[in-house]
Structure 1
Amino acid sequence: MFFETMFTWMFKIALIILICSGLLVANIYFEVNFPKVNRVNLDSGKIPPGSKLSILQITDFHNWHPTDRHQKLLRDIRQLKPDLIVITGDLVDRKTVNFDNVFYLARELVKINPHTYFVCGNHEWANRKSQVFLSGLKNCGVIVLNNGHEVWSNTQLAINICGVDDPSTGRANLDKATKGINTEFLTVLLAHAPAIVKKPSITQADLVLCGHTHGGQIRLPFAGAVIAPGQGLFPAYDKGIYQIGPHTTLYIDSGLGTGVMPVRFLNRSQVSFITITGK
């Protein structure tokens, strides 16, 4: 009788563990493979009252290969009709040798909006075919802003769109990227890694858009990201909005792809739709 009872309890415990493991695997698969659109609302005194600027941010794509050739993601972006599309690095992986997948995405993004901007991440520079990739990306119509800037405008407003090369590999030159900008315009800075906020001249930027952290990939309730590259355990900057100065806001998107381990937990893959309203 005792052994029968023990066997029954062991069977129940094993069944519970099996069910929980199955649910965990299913959840991880969902979070990795079914991205969402994260909506972010900000305001700025440098935008005329009543006007709006919308930016679609894609980061840490890592040559992601969904089965539908990105069609759902592209449909979502078309429906949003962003004023700008920005890609904040790691579009490819360090081991990517065939760029057809990312070039297809790039061409489709440019069709949606020709104002599509890109800055390099650490994986672009670690890839042995980085120059081939950058040349191809430009041929797709993407505007590469590595330590440079442009002015974007419509009938209502004008903004500085600046980009630095990858901060995590020491290639960022923020002074060069912002040299000569009109400081009366809203300045949006694209940088792959949030390490850029350590630069003294970061105050030139009103809004800094980054990736690199993947949101930690694995997050814990209340504690947030467990680890992030370049920051170690329980990083200070992992995901979301941070006020890093009186007039400078940092936003970190957790991205679409994954690192070495194709795992996400409490951290669904995403793109961000950022709306800035004049105040």
Structure 2
Amino acid sequence: MEVLILIILAILILFGEMFFEVNYPRITEVNFNTNKLPQGTSLKILQVSDVHGEDFTTNLLNQIKLKEPDIIVITGDLIDRNTSNFNNAYKLVEELIMVTPHVFFVSGNHEWDNDRNVDFLLGLKKRHVLILNNSNTTVGIKNTSINICGVDDFHTDHSDLGLAAKGINNKFFTVLLSHSPGIVEEKYLLGDLVLSGHTHGGQVRFPLIGGIVAPGQGLFPKLQKGIYNLEHGKKLYIDSGLGTSALPIRFLNRSQVSLITIKGSSSVH
């Protein structure tokens, strides 16, 4: 009987942990330094990824507002491939655009797989979200400028780095938004910092092993979550996302958004 009680308690604790990690997102903070921004300048970029049409707005938005991000980027899969009602996604972006007018979006594989993709993107545009579909823009903020570039989904073969880089001024710090981190396989990678999602951090993780599976990478993926050093001093950061796919579970991998602070180190500007 005692063994049975312990088993039941262990199962309850396990399910409670998974429920918490899916439904109570946190803000993960990371910092990067660059000599392309003036010394003493800090830009805060909030990254939202892989929402999959879920509703996380109430508690999460209160946390986001307190952080006062300068720029918000949404790195794909804001909806699921089966999402037919876009209200949750639209409600989220309407709240985000009130935090800062600088809100950018790139499509993920689920947007491309959704039959109403065109309608959804039109709704984002109407809500003043700038969609970077293999394109770029320069944002002037805090007496400096940075480039925000976006590629369409690499995983579904819609990315075009050459087009995304057209007309870019490389003297400015450049952030590349790509839903899939697989974009770093490209020979001529654009950007000083690549922000991606798609992997869900493996969704289910175990100590010493890490993520079990990620889309496009299979079992024990190489690119899971967090910071990766690339060639020529470039960095990749993968946000493990808010939502889930396949199964609505997470383990040792709490749902999140990321607050990325870019700190300037240059004394000549």
Instruction: Give your verdict on TM over 0.5.
Output: yes
Q: Distance in 2 between matches of 1:51 and 1:34?
A: 32
The residue that corresponds to 1:86 in the other structure is 73
Is 1:224 paired with 2:214? no
Of residues 253, 257, 260, the one that matches 1:267 is: 253
Q: 5+ residue gaps in structure 1?
A: 1-10
Is 1:118 paired with 2:108? no
The residue that corresponds to 1:5 in the other structure is none
SS state at 1:189 partner: strand
Aligned amino acid, residue 172 of structure 2: F
Aligned-pair distance for 1:246? 2.2
Aligned amino acid, residue 276 of structure 1: I
The residue that corresponds to 1:207 in the other structure is 193
Q: Give the structure with the higher percent helix.
A: 1
Aligned-pair distance for 1:156? 2.4
SS state at 2:83 partner: coil
The residue that corresponds to 2:84 in the other structure is 97
Question: Could you tell me whether the CA contact under 8 Å between 2:41 and 2:142 is conserved in 1?
Answer: no
Aligned-pair distance for 1:54? 0.6
The residue that corresponds to 1:161 in the other structure is 148
Q: Distance in 2 between matches of 1:221 and 1:145?
A: 37
The residue that corresponds to 2:42 in the other structure is 52
The residue that corresponds to 2:121 in the other structure is 134
Is 1:177 paired with 2:153? no
Which string of whole-angstrom CA distances, capped at 9 and with x for unpartnered residues, describes residues 71-118 of structure 1?
Answer: 211111111111100000000000100111111111111111110000
Which string of whole-angstrom CA distances, capped at 9 and with x for unpartnered residues, describes residues 158-184 of structure 1?
Answer: 111000000100000011101221111
Q: 5+ residue gaps in structure 2?
A: none
Name the Cα RMSD after superposition: 0.8
Q: Distance in 1 between matches of 2:216 and 2:40?
A: 40
Of residues 24, 33, 51, the one that matches 2:23 is: 33
Is 1:193 paired with 2:180? yes
Q: Distance in 2 between matches of 1:48 and 1:273?
A: 20
Aligned-pair distance for 1:232? 1.1
The residue that corresponds to 1:8 in the other structure is none
Question: Could you tell me whether the CA contact under 8 Å between 2:103 and 2:129 is conserved in 1?
Answer: yes
Aligned amino acid, residue 42 of structure 2: K
Of residues 237, 247, 255, the one that matches 2:241 is: 255
TM, length-normalised to structure 1 = 0.93
Question: Could you tell me whether the CA contact under 8 Å between 1:48 and 1:156 is conserved in 2?
Answer: no
Is 1:43 paired with 2:33? yes
Is 1:237 paired with 2:223? yes
TM, length-normalised to structure 2 = 0.97
**Which stretch of structure 1 is more off in the superposition, 149-158 or 134-143?**
149-158
Which string of whole-angstrom CA distances, capped at 9 and with x for unpartnered residues, describes residues 236-267 of structure 1?
Answer: 10000000112210000000000010000000
Task: Kindly report structure 1 stretches of 4+ aligned residues shifted beyond 4 Å.
Answer: none
Which string of whole-angstrom CA distances, capped at 9 and with x for unpartnered residues, describes residues 221-244 of structure 1?
Answer: 121111111111111100000001
Question: Could you tell me whether the CA contact under 8 Å between 2:36 and 2:173 is conserved in 1?
Answer: yes
Aligned-pair distance for 1:155? 3.9
SS state at 1:95 partner: coil
The residue that corresponds to 2:138 in the other structure is 151
Q: Which has the larger radius of gyration?
A: 1
Q: Distance in 1 between matches of 2:167 and 2:71?
A: 22
Size of the alignment, in residue pairs?
Answer: 265
